[in-house]
């Protein structure tokens, strides 16, 4: 049982964390514990301060700590005691508490470290090695020495650049080794020893960079058990250089040469040899950079006590976490990487048709993977099973299934044992497998040869097939039979990747085949993981385009792709946005010597707006003034109905401010008689929000009066003709999510058709006939109806009785109530209750129809301007148009359109065809002595004298 003193340091840290939380008026969380570790000092605090993380920086880094779960402080304290117990420590310290916080991904402390850009793997490795006693804890924090100081670099001290005496500390590629207490220098200038954290050799020779992403597949690290050393430990290679032979070793080496491991069936004989331990530093080979990242193993002496199983497990964890870095790793020497190569003589088919991903990872040809540790570990666990050891990666396109397979290749490289043949991952492309197999039986023969090679490998070769449904389906009966037989006998280990739809169609349909696979779900990464992933690959992407990507541009690409491109998956859609923005920025950039080109949010906004087919001003929020003046913009197109336009503008402004859920931008039911501007209002919304009146899908629901018409909206069900074509509504919204959906004459649709819109109005989604979910959250739903128009007309024409309302007609409130009552009676209540605004459009007055006539004539004048003809309209002509049948209260503005076409457009067409109206002439619309509208052509001279 632990004594109270054994928890004294944890109690002190908790009190300090409580003081920090009280001072900042915050609830106590794991972030305050992490800040207390940095403030208290000691080994854990020094590790944090080396990464420029003091208590204030930690507290500022975390944005929210509301979802840490139950009792995060007690959970962290208990985990710290468990870590101390496993490490055989006498009492838990701040270092054990730091390790517990680093292991809890759900804690606020873990998120704070992620947001600060710290490489968590290296920090965890350094803390583990100090806790295990592999390296000694520093007493003072390291600092960067100015280049001008003449003092020689001391062991464990970081140096910015080469200084006098520093050549003895520089290893290959300029990497600084860790020195012993006496600064022992090995051969070729490689310094070894036990002072300093393990990450200093590679990761802390320069200030921490925000490009390092924490969740990274560990870089390959071949390991070897070193034999007895002489006086001091030295850096030795994990594999000897090419051409080295045991019989060529000098006599000064130790006579106790380790026995050679069993030959590997994958590498060419003589490609590699067992490692040896030199007896003197001068005989040591130069350690490659990959080997330098591992701390030197303690010298094995005859009196050294063997590691306990728990210590061995912790040491193995230290090795697996010793070096994680984003991007493409440093390649291994070819002699070391040759171990993972396939022998062409023994594996001719796999060597010819397949690509060895593990060998490519060893040579640094493929990048590491970030944020897929869970999926990679699941694949490795399934591969290690005795039965049904074939995993299948199932996920939507663009989610990163192929990247998971590459991460598996890196992990196989990292866990490879030096004394056993390694496992390798070989990718086979289906098209290359089928090439040249036109003759009957050729494919079966090739598959049989591959199966024989995989059987000979005895589980050491994992076959990766992307789009595995193309191999298992598509009428390839020969390949299907061979694969099913091999899987049933356990002769091959197959890693497949496919989409959920194809998996259900190809694999799940065959129960005998489905039981041979174990599904690994590859889900879309979170916004935070996608940002870290893109930030890690942005450097390589920028190098391709010869520019840089700002963190704001990366965050913007992730956020906007999630919001405005719902039909695709992360990280593919955000990466394609950055790639296109980089290409466009590079093309438009003006070459300047010494000037750096950077891609920012404006460049990303232009690409997103182009893909989503929406105004770029909406993305950059440069249209706030326009959104505040929506009433005026809508009134420029719609005459009258100011109250209804004001209510529409308020709903649209609410969405522009980001105050909305998963529902559409707005849903409106416009009631009123014909010709009052309901459809014109929908066009005005499309032009105002999406800068084009054509950003609208119009459906006449009078064509959907039958129950089976639902199939036209969402697509035919499976098995029916037209199933692959999709629905008229769903396909239109899928192609253009930002638009107005106009449902005209809604009262004439069948009830089943109306009920199909319930989920659209409530959840902003609709499922089509192919099972795909269509997003309506970026659309505006406008429904029009003439319901209640007859009742409202009857109210307008009824004779007043007694001292009622004057002959001007009934009150607008009564007309609106009549329309709403009729709509409630005709529409399903569950549909009516989901509509944002129900708006009543009254009949147009005479002066409003006159204004509509003027706007129609202005539009006609713009058409004539293209011909060089000017249109002149006398005010009396508008009144004459009203009297000539242009105004009818029962039919709205449509009679005026017909009157203008009959009395003005037709005479203008005659004048144009006769040649009387050409460039430089004026078309005059006036009234004669009898009050009839006349159209005449005037020359410039007549206009000047008149």
- Mean pLDDT over 427-451 rounds to 82
Confidence of residue 387 (pLDDT cuts 50, 70, 90): confident
Q: Which residues pair with 743 in a beta bridge?
A: 699, 783
Full domain range(s) for residue 575: 545-612
Query: Would residue 209 count as lying in a domain?
Result: no
How buried is 703 (Cβ within 10 angstroms: 0-12 exposed, 13-18 middle, 19+ buried)?
middle
Q: What is the pLDDT of residue 105?
A: 73
pLDDT at 177 over 50: no
Q: What is the pLDDT of residue 215?
A: 41
Domain boundary among the residues 88, 118, 148 is at 118
Question: How does pLDDT run across 487-513, given as a tens digit for each residue?
Answer: 888 888 999 999 988 898 888 888 888
- End position of a domain, from candidates 118, 149, 179: 118
Question: Which pLDDT value is given to residue 867?
Answer: 85
Q: What is the mean pLDDT of residues 386-408?
A: 90
**Range with the largest mean pLDDT of 84-93, 114-123, 412-421, 729-738:** 729-738
Which pLDDT band holds residue 526 (cuts at 50, 70, 90)? confident
251 vs 941 pLDDT, higher one: 941
Which of 165-169, 208-212, 683-687 has the largest mean confidence? 683-687
Residues 788 and 876 reside in one and the same domain: no
The band of 940, judged by pLDDT with boundaries at 50, 70 and 90, is: low
d(CA 816, CA 618): 34
For the residues 430-456, what does the mean pLDDT come to? 82
Whole-angstrom CA distances from 657 to 634, 644, 665, 695 are: 19, 20, 11, 21
**Looking at residue 433, what is its pLDDT?**
83
Task: Tell me if 199 is assigned to some domain.
Answer: no
Residues 596 and 722 grouped into a single domain: no
What confidence category does residue 866 fall into, taking pLDDT thresholds of 50, 70 and 90? confident
More confident residue, 876 or 186: 876
Average pLDDT on 680-703 reads 88
The length of the chain is 946
- One domain for residues 938 and 867: yes
Q: What is the pLDDT of residues 617-654, one digit of tens each?
A: 767 765 677 788 888 889 888 988 888 999 999 998 88
Tell me the per-residue pLDDT of 275-332, one tens digit each, with 9 for 90 and over: 433 333 333 333 333 333 333 333 333 333 444 554 444 444 444 343 333 445 567 7
The pLDDT score that the predictor gives to residue 583 is: 93
Kindly state whether residue 583 falls inside one of the protein's structural domains. yes
Q: Let me know if residue 155 belongs to a domain.
A: no
DSSP state letter for 164: T
Answer yes or no: is pLDDT of 402 > 80.
yes
Cis peptide before 463 (omega within 30 of 0): no
Kind and range of the H or E element at 780? Answer: strand 780-785
19 belongs to a structural domain: yes
Q: CB-based contacts of 41: which residues, under 8 Å, 6+ apart?
A: none
Pick 11 or 224 by higher pLDDT. 11
**List of E strands, 647-747:** 666-671, 696-700, 740-744
Residue 259 has pLDDT above 50, yes or no: no
pLDDT band at 563 (very low <50, low <70, confident <90, very high): confident
Report, as an integer, the average pLDDT of 450-469. 88
For position 140, what pLDDT does the model report?
A: 43
Do both 585 and 667 map to the same domain?
no
Comparing CA positions, the residue from 750, 713, 708, 748 lying closest to residue 730 is: 713
642 exposed, middle or buried (CB, 10 Å; 0-12, 13-18, 19+)?
exposed
Give which of 349, 586, 364, 385 is closest to 457, Cα–Cα. Answer: 349
For residue 497, what pLDDT is reported?
93
- Say whether pLDDT at 742 is over 90: yes
493 and 374 housed in the same domain: yes
Q: Are residues 786 and 855 in the same domain?
A: no
* Res 372: pLDDT: 85
Residues 831 and 706 in one domain: yes
Q: Above 90 in pLDDT, residue 394?
A: yes
Confidence check: pLDDT of 477 > 80: no
Query: Domain containing 363 — which CATH number?
Result: 3.40.50.300
The pLDDT score that the predictor gives to residue 697 is 93
pLDDT of residue 62: 64
User: What's the CATH code of the domain at 81?
Assistant: 1.10.1780.10
pLDDT for 24-75, tens place per residue?
888 888 888 888 998 888 888 888 888 888 888 888 766 556 667 778 888 8
Does residue 696 contact residue 739 with C-beta atoms inside 8 Å? yes
**Is residue 125 situated within a structural domain?**
no
Average of per-residue pLDDT across 366-375: 83
Cβ-based burial of 401 (10 A; exposed 0-12, middle 13-18, buried ≥19): buried
Domain contains 266:
no
- Residue 258, pLDDT > 90, answer no
647 and 703 both lie in a single domain: yes
Cα 532 to Cα 114, 215, 411, 481: the distances in Å are 9, 8, 20, 43
| Whether residues 573 and 488 fall in one domain | no
Write down the pLDDT at residue 594. 56
pLDDT at position 835 over 90: yes
Residue 839 — left, alpha, or beta (φ > 0 → left; ψ -120 to 50 → alpha)? beta
- pLDDT exceeds cutoff 80 at 929: yes
In this predicted structure, the answer to whether residue 750 has a pLDDT above a threshold of 90 is yes
pLDDT at 745 over 60: yes
DSSP one-letter code for 882: I
User: Quick check: is 146 in a domain?
Assistant: no
Q: How confident is the model at residue 230 (pLDDT cuts 50, 70, 90)?
A: very low
Q: Which residues pair with 466 in a beta bridge?
A: 497
Q: Rg of the Cα trace of the chain?
A: 38
Specify the pLDDT at position 793: 67
Average pLDDT, rounded, for the chain: 75
Q: How far apart are CA 681 and CA 71, in angstroms?
A: 55
Q: How confident is the model at residue 621, as a pLDDT?
A: 60
Asked if residue 851 and residue 725 are part of one domain, the reply reads: no
**Structural domains of the chain, count:** 5
Domain CATH number, residue 896: 1.10.8.60
Q: Which of 744 and 458 is assigned the larger pLDDT?
A: 744
Average pLDDT for residues 368-377, to the nearest whole number? Answer: 85
Give the integer Cα–Cα distance in Å for 835 and 840.
14
Report the Cα–Cα distance between both ends of the chain, in Å, rounded. Answer: 113
Is the pLDDT confidence value at 680 over 70?
Answer: yes
Q: What is the pLDDT of residue 903?
A: 92
Same domain for 813 and 709: yes
The tokens describing 322, both together, are 């010793």
Q: Where does a domain end: 580, 612, 644?
A: 612
Query: Is residue 636 located within the same domain as residue 693?
Result: yes
Mean pLDDT for the stretch of residues 208-219: 39
Give the neighbor-by-neighbor strand order of the sheet with 424-428.
354-356, 424-428, 461-466, 493-498, 390-394, 517-521
pLDDT of residue 744: 92
């Amino acid at each position: 049982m632990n004594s109270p003193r054994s928890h004294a340091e944890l109690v002190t840290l908790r009190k300090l964390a409580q003081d920090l939380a009280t001072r900042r008026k915050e609830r106590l969380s794991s972030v305050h514990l992490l800040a207390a570790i940095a403030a208290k000092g000691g080994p854990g605090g020094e590790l944090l301060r080396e990464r420029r993380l003091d208590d204030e920086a930690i507290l500022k880094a975390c944005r929210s700590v509301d979802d840490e779960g139950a009792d995060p402080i007690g959970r962290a304290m208990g985990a710290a005691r468990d870590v101390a117990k496993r490490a055989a420590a006498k009492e838990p310290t701040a270092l054990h508490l730091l390790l517990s916080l680093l292991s809890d991904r759900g804690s606020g402390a873990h998120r704070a470290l992620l947001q600060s850009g710290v490489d968590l793997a290296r920090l965890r490795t350094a803390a583990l090695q100090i806790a295990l006693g592999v390296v000694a804890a520093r007493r003072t924090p390291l600092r960067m020495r100015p280049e001008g100081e003449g003092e020689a670099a001391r062991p464990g001290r970081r140096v910015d650049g080469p200084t006098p005496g520093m050549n003895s500390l520089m290893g290959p590629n300029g990497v600084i080794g860790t020195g012993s207490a006496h600064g022992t220098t090995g051969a070729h200038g490689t310094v070894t020893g036990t002072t300093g954290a393990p990450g200093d050799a590679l990761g802390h020779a320069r200030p921490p960079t925000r490009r390092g992403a924490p969740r990274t597949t560990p870089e390959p690290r071949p390991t070897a058990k070193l034999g007895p050393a002489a006086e001091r430990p030295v850096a030795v290679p994990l594999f000897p250089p090419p051409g080295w032979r045991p019989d060529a070793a000098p006599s000064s080496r130790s006579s106790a040469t380790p026995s050679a491991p069993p030959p590997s069936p994958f590498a060419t004989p003589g490609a590699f040899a067992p490692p040896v331990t030199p007896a003197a530093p001068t005989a040591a080979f130069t350690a490659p950079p990959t080997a330098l990242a591992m701390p030197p193993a303690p010298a094995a002496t005859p009196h050294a006590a063997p590691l306990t199983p728990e210590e061995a497990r912790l040491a193995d964890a230290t090795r697996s976490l010793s070096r994680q870095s984003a991007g493409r790793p440093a390649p291994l020497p070819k002699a070391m990487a040759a171990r993972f190569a396939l022998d062409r003589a023994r594996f001719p088919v796999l060597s010819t048709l397949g690509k060895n991903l593990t060998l490519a990872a060893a040579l640094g040809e493929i990048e590491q993977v970030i944020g897929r540790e869970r999926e990679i570990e699941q694949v490795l666990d399934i591969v290690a099973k005795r039965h049904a050891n074939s995993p299948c990666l199932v996920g939507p396109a663009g989610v990163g299934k192929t990247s998971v397979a590459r991460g598996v290749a890196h992990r196989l490289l990292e866990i490879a044992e030096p004394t056993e043949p390694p496992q390798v991952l070989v990718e086979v492309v289906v098209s290359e497998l089928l090439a040249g197999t036109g003759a009957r039986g050729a494919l079966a023969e090739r598959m049989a040869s591959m199966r024989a090679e995989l059987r000979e490998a005895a589980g050491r070769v994992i076959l990766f097939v992307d789009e595995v449904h193309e191999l298992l389906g598509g009428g390839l009966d020969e390949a299907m039979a061979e694969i099913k037989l091999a899987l049933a006998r356990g002769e091959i280990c197959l890693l497949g990747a496919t989409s959920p739809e194809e998996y259900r169609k190809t694999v799940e349909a065959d129960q005998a085949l489905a039981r041979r696979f174990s599904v690994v779900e590859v889900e879309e990464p979170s916004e935070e993981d996608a940002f870290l992933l893109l930030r890690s690959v942005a450097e390589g992407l920028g190098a391709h385009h010869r520019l840089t990507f700002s963190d704001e541009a990366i965050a913007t690409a992730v956020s906007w792709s999630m919001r405005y491109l719902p039909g695709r998956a992360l990280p593919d859609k955000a990466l394609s946005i950055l790639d296109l923005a980089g290409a466009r920025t590079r093309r438009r950039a003006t070459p300047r010597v010494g000037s750096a080109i950077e891609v920012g949010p404006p460049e990303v906004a232009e690409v997103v707006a182009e893909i989503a087919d929406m105004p770029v001003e909406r993305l950059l929020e440069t249209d706030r003034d326009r959104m505040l003046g929506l009433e005026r913009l809508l009134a420029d197109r719609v005459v009258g109905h100011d109250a209804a336009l004001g209510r529409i503008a308020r709903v649209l402004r609410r969405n522009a401010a980001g105050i909305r859920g998963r529902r559409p931008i707005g849903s409106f039911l416009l009631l009123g008689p014909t010709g009052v501007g309901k459809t014109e209002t929908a066009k005005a919304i499309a032009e105002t929000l999406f800068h084009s009146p054509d950003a609208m899908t119009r459906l006449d629901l009078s064509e959907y009066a039958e129950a089976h018409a639902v199939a036209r909206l969402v697509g035919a069900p499976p098995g029916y003709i037209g199933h692959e074509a999709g629905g008229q509504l769903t396909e239109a919204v899928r192609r253009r999510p930002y638009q107005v959906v106009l449902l005209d004459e809604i009262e004439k649709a069948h009830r089943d058709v109306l009920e199909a819109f319930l989920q659209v109005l409530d959840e902003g989604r609709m499922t089509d006939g192919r099972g795909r979910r269509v997003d309506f959250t970026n659309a505006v739903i406008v429904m029009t109806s003439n319901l209640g128009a007859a009742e409202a007309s009857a109210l307008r024409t009824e004779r007043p009785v007694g001292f009622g309302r004057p002959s001007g007609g009934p009150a607008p409130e009564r007309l609106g109530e009549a329309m709403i009552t009729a709509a409630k009676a005709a529409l399903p209540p569950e549909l009516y209750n989901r509509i944002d605004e129900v708006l009543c459009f009254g009949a147009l007055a005479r002066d409003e129809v006159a204004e509509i006539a003027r706007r129609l004539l202005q539009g006609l004048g713009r058409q004539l301007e293209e011909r060089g003809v000017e249109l002149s309209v006398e005010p009396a002509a508008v009144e004459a148009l009203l009297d000539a049948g242009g105004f009818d209260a029962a039919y709205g503005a449509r009679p005026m359109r017909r009157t203008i076409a009959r009395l003005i457009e037709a005479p203008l067409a005659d004048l144009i065809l006769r040649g009387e109206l050409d460039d430089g002439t004026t078309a005059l619309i006036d009234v004669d002595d009898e009050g009839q509208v006349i159209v005449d052509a005037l020359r410039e001279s007549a206009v000047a004298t008149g």
